[in-house]
Structure 1
Amino acid sequence: MRSNKLYDEQRIKVAQEAIHGTKISFLARKYSVSPSTISNWVKFYKERFGEEATPSVQERIEDAERVQDLETKMETAIKLLGEKDLEIELLRELLKKANPAYKTDSNWPTKR
């Protein structure tokens, strides 16, 4: 029986998601297949690539910590970028005005 390469890649992707901790019932609903089918795909994946291909609990924890760290850094970068964009917009508005930082002679009190 010939199998479609795209279908094989999809099965491997689903099996990897299941191995990485996504619940099989969720994957079954997501991909419209039965949970037993996904279990079979996971078994096939483990037979084909071996147990070494599946990440250990410690590797999963490290990945989760790394992702959390990157998300925190990204949020900080987005906030800084937003502040810089606001600052640039304010400076552009000031440039549009004629001498925005200087008072004119009419604003100065006169000596009498």
Structure 2
Amino acid sequence: MRRTKYSNEFKVQVVKEALETRNKAAVARRYELASNMLHRWIKEYESGKWGVISVEGISPLETKKLSQENDHLKRLLGEKDLEIAILRDLVKKKNPHLLTKLK
């Protein structure tokens, strides 16, 4: 049986579809690929091995890292907002006259 050589453009198209749909098995079946091959392509794509750069000029690996950092910062911001709300409630209960100074 002959090995099929796939172009990088085809690989990127398949990988993006798999990542968008989050159903690697279905995408692999649609393109008649082995699921382990698609998994390997995804790893290579995310590591930047193909030299693919997104529209923003950032590699997929860097995009993933930035997304994780963004999620972490959003979580921290939510915690700080909650702390501020709790402290304002405490001030309101203990010293209502100070509340006007805090706003």
TM-score tier, shorter chain, comes to 0.3 to 0.5
Q: Which structure is richer in relative contact order (CA contacts within 8 A, separation 6 or more)?
A: 1
Q: Could you state the TM-score of these two structures normalised by the residue count of structure 1?
A: 0.41
Max radius of gyration: which structure? 1
